Structure 1
Amino acid sequence: MAEKEVKLMKGNEVIAHAAIRYGCDGYFGYPITPQSEVMETLMELKPWETTGMVVLQAESEISSINMVYGGASTGKRVMTSSSSPGISLMAEGISYLAGAELPCLIINCQRGGPGLGTIQPSQGDYFQAVKGGGHGDYKLIVFAPNSVQEMHDHVAEAFDLAFKYRNPAMILADGAIGQMMEKVVLAPQRPRKTDEELKAECDAWAAMGKPSGRGRNVVTSLELQSEKMEIINQRLQA
């Protein structure tokens, strides 16, 4: 059996490595302390040259979460990362993702608040995370890592559950674990899913072109009929 690959790195850095190794299709983010190393590490690793993963710095947190919305709509494995004030800016977009039943991964490396607060670690976003954070009637799948190794492991687990339940997932970290360095056993590289594999997995709901054999897949969080909205809410709560 081949030796395990062990590295010494920060929690934020390992998120980037895990995303690439899991086969993530795209990262869209905006820098904010104390999580900027996630995007910085991705830029340094240049996964677009090896796996084809897209890495893009948007002009704001609002732009980045809406880029995630677009990527998730096509069945791609997409993610973003931010810290507390940035996650608050993303809250409307996260709510839209939940309402449209789209899977994605969000990393929140918490800092102290309220407002801009401090760049020091905090766990003040707990209630926001577990109750959804946006306006009404949804919850996130939330992971709370207690080590740098779990920061790595939760990336794959969060993506898998996000797609199983078609719901956004969040890794709720903080500035301490994001900046802390530990030994990490890295997962083997998984290939990104091909277009054929995506169609087999997501054809029933993703916007990836309409074949002749099925109706249109419409990605929206809008439902004007209250009785239909109630059914959607009951499904999301279940």
Structure 2
Amino acid sequence: MEKVLVRGAEAIAEAAIRAGCRLYFGYPITPQSELTEYMAKRMPEVEGVFLQGESEVAVVNMVYGAAITGKRVMTSTSSPGFSLMQEGISYIAGAELPCVFVNVVRGGPGLGDIQPAQSDYFQATKGGGHGDYRLIVYSPESLQEAVELTMHAFNVADRYRNPTLLLTDGLLGQMMEPVRFPEFVDLDTLPNHSNWALNGTAMSRKAHRVSSFDLDPVSLEQKNMSIQAKYKEVINNEILYEEYQLDDAEVVIVAYGTMGRIVKSVVKQAREKGIKVGVFRPISLWPFPYIQLARWIDQASFFFCVEMSAGQFVEDVKLAVEGRKPVEYYGRMAGIIPTPGEIYAKLMELI
């Protein structure tokens, strides 16, 4: 298929439809409202369902109810809206239901602004709601990768019966790039969840029960242990990352999402001056590629973490490095995007 020029939010929406999503519930919030608008137009065209809820709290519970049917379902929002969804997300994870969330992050805290940020990292990767649960989290650097990760997120959600999250930002959501879309999946080939989904018994089987509620602590602990065992499978099988010019790198820049893309130009600038710099870019933020990043500890003189937040992502980088080498940090907040020039200047200071 030929490439088409498309806006980021619309690219993610179209990818979801091609992945087999036919149920979308949303509530408009800048800077992702274009995704909701696109779904409002496209869902009727593919015989899907679009419904705008009265709030993000309503939306996440609609997602919960729809996911119980075993069909592919998603929603999208931005930072304040995602905060309102946290209780429902915990319920969905506890009920072990597959679905996809998209958070187009904006500046905060509070209402903040509508500019790009990465300050929802803790919320996304450490569990924003209550209880012992995890979201499987991916962060793309480009619109083409956003399309591919959206398709992948639905597959992984189905594989582990767990909600997945595409963590982007206002820059990626609003930018336009040429994208090559994959073909539509055959809906008849999607995973069959008849062994647990609530899709009607037709008087031919025992009724299913899907819930996160259990008043027996022994039974609930057993369920929690089963979920934690599932998460170990995710850690073993679902880590994604990119290594860029690291073979001889003496400085390892670590960044994710759009920052992981921006710092590649810093590498080019540094190498023109004879400074051996490379980039390690986590693509899956949970599970985080701790072991894969740690492979560069002996070679690197130090690690340089760049992010659009006050220093959230850097904590996972420090965990990976285990105190064996210095981990430096540079970041901007409130929707200000660090430029390659200022990142390079900070790198020269550190060297």
**TM over 0.5: same fold?**
yes
Superposed, 1:57-96 pairs within 5 Å as 57-96=52-91
Superposed, 1:81-230 pairs within 5 Å as 81-193=76-188, 201-230=192-221
What's the offset of the Cα at 1:211? 4.6
What's the offset of the Cα at 1:184? 0.6
After superposition, what is the alpha-carbon deviation per residue over 1:103-137, rounded to whole angstroms, capped at 9, x for unaligned? 00000000111111111111011111112210020
- Is the 1:74–1:207 contact (alpha carbons within 8 Å) kept by the matching residues of 2? yes
Instruction: Write the letter of the residue equivalent to 1:48.
Output: P
After superposition, what is the alpha-carbon deviation per residue over 1:47-102, rounded to whole angstroms, capped at 9, x for unaligned? 323x2111111111111111111110011100000001000000011110001000
| Residues 1:23 and 2:20 are matched in the alignment | yes
- Is the 1:152–1:186 contact (alpha carbons within 8 Å) kept by the matching residues of 2? yes
What's the offset of the Cα at 1:187? 0.8
Residue 109 of structure 1 aligns to a residue whose secondary structure is strand
The structure, 1 or 2, with the larger RCO (C-alpha pairs under 8 Å, 6+ apart) is 1
| Residues 1:47 and 2:43 are matched in the alignment | yes
Residue 178 of structure 2 aligns to a residue whose secondary structure is strand
Q: How many residues align?
A: 229
Residue 219 of structure 2 aligns to a residue whose secondary structure is helix
Give the aligned partner of residue 32 of structure 2.
35
Greater C-alpha Rg: 2
Determine what percentage of the aligned residue pairs are the same residue.
54
Q: TM-score, normalised by structure 2?
A: 0.63
Q: TM-score, normalised by structure 1?
A: 0.92
CA RMSD after TM alignment: 1.5
Instruction: Write the letter of the residue equivalent to 1:158.
Output: A
Instruction: Write the letter of the residue equivalent to 2:171.
Output: A
- Gaps of at least 5 residues in structure 1 are none
Instruction: Write the letter of the residue equivalent to 1:71.
Output: A
Give the aligned partner of residue 12 of structure 1.
9
User: What is the rounded CA distance, in whole Å, between the counterparts of 1:5 and 1:21 in structure 2?
Assistant: 15
- Is the 2:22–2:72 contact (alpha carbons within 8 Å) kept by the matching residues of 1? yes
User: What is the rounded CA distance, in whole Å, between the counterparts of 1:140 and 1:42 in structure 2?
Assistant: 23
Instruction: Write the letter of the residue equivalent to 2:155.
Output: D
Residue 201 of structure 1 aligns to a residue whose secondary structure is coil
- Is the 1:24–1:192 contact (alpha carbons within 8 Å) kept by the matching residues of 2? no
Of 224, 231, 235 in structure 1, the residue corresponding to residue 222 of structure 2 is 231
Instruction: Write the letter of the residue equivalent to 1:19.
Output: A
User: What is the rounded CA distance, in whole Å, between the counterparts of 2:56 and 2:43 in structure 1?
Assistant: 22
What's the offset of the Cα at 1:20? 1.5
Moved more, 73-82 or 126-135: 126-135
What's the offset of the Cα at 1:43? 2.3
